[in-house]
A and B are shown apart, each in its own frame.
Chain A
Amino acid sequence: MKTAIVLTVAILAQSIGNVTLSKGMKLISGGSTDSADFSLIMLLQAMQSPLIWMGILLLILFFVMFMVSLTWADLSFVVPVISLSYIVNVVLAHQFLGESVSETRWAGTLLICLGVILVSRSGHSTRDKDAYAVHHETRPSQT
């Protein structure tokens, strides 16, 4: 339960944080879609934008939740769960930034989630390891 709450907060904070950062940067760049219009001064302006700071705070919250979960859970369990944030990110970008997301892009996002789950798949999940420890406590090893 502790893990579920911490990881849900992490996913939401990460996704909402990205939307906030995106909104902030687009306000600063005037909505230009050309990378040539970008200048480093915009990063200084970003440091004065409340939206950017809100995004940073949300990402720090994500970061703390992620780190804290790693002190008891395995990376190979936490990473696939956090990968769901790819879908949440695209959903929020569509809802709140009005980005038109093509079917190809949705399909790509789903494939990425599946891929991340497979990448981090491993023999022992956090829960398996607990079961393993209990099992070996009741039956000491021969070595």
Chain B
Amino acid sequence: MDGITLVMIAIIVLSNAAGDVLITRGMKKMGEVNSFHPYHLLQLGRKVLGNGDFLSGVFCLAISFFAFISVLAWAEMSFIVPATSVVYVVTVLGAKFFLKEQIDKLRWAGPFLVCMGVVLVCLP
């Protein structure tokens, strides 16, 4: 794996994490969706487009998307998709250091397994 691929994975992961946080915050303000009637979905769509959190989240995800399809141009999908799962490790570290959440021992096992998995995926 070369340096450019590594930098691209970092861009995919960081912008994806930022996008997910912003969109989750935005959607929680929308209320539960119980109707799939086109009219109600349209109403939801209109509400969502006026939501700043949601829009900046979409922008972050767009950056992540273009970085992702760029890497797909040269790298194998069965490598790049699992490799981007380090996003879960970033999320847990963010929760620990920025949100000061308590993370018990069993919860640390998650990021640890993800790291081990990514190492295995990166091996030739």
CB contacts under 8 Å to A, within B68-86, are 68-79, 81-82, 85
Task: Report whether B121 and A99 are in contact in the complex, using a CB–CB cutoff of 8 Å.
Answer: no
**Interface check A118, CB cutoff 8 A:** yes
**Interface check B59, CB cutoff 8 A:** no
Whole-angstrom CA separation of A75 from B114 in the bound complex? 18
For this complex, 23 residue pairs linking A to B, each with C-beta atoms less than 8 Å apart, are: A18-B81, A21-B68, A36-B4, A38-B74, A42-B73, A70-B28, A71-B27, A71-B31, A89-B82, A90-B82, A99-B76, A99-B77, A104-B120, A108-B117, A109-B82, A110-B117, A111-B113, A112-B82, A112-B121, A114-B113, A119-B91, A119-B110, A121-B110
Whole-angstrom CA separation of A98 from B122 in the bound complex? 18
Q: Could you say which residues of chain A place their CB within 8 Å of the CB of B4? A: 35-36
Q: Of the candidates A37, A63, A70, A115, which one forms a contact with B114 in the assembled complex, judged by CB atoms under 8 Å apart?
A: A115
The 9 closest A-B pairs by CB, nearest first: A108-B120, A115-B113, A111-B117, A119-B110, A118-B110, A115-B114, A112-B117, A108-B121, A93-B78
Whole-angstrom CA separation of A36 from B114 in the bound complex? 29
Q: Is the interface of A mostly helix, strand, loop or mixed?
A: helix
A: interface residue count bin? 35 or more
CB A60 to nearest CB in B, in angstroms, measures: 11
1/0 per residue A1-45: CB within 8 Å of B? 000000000000000001101101110110011111110001100
CB A89 to nearest CB in B, in angstroms, measures: 4
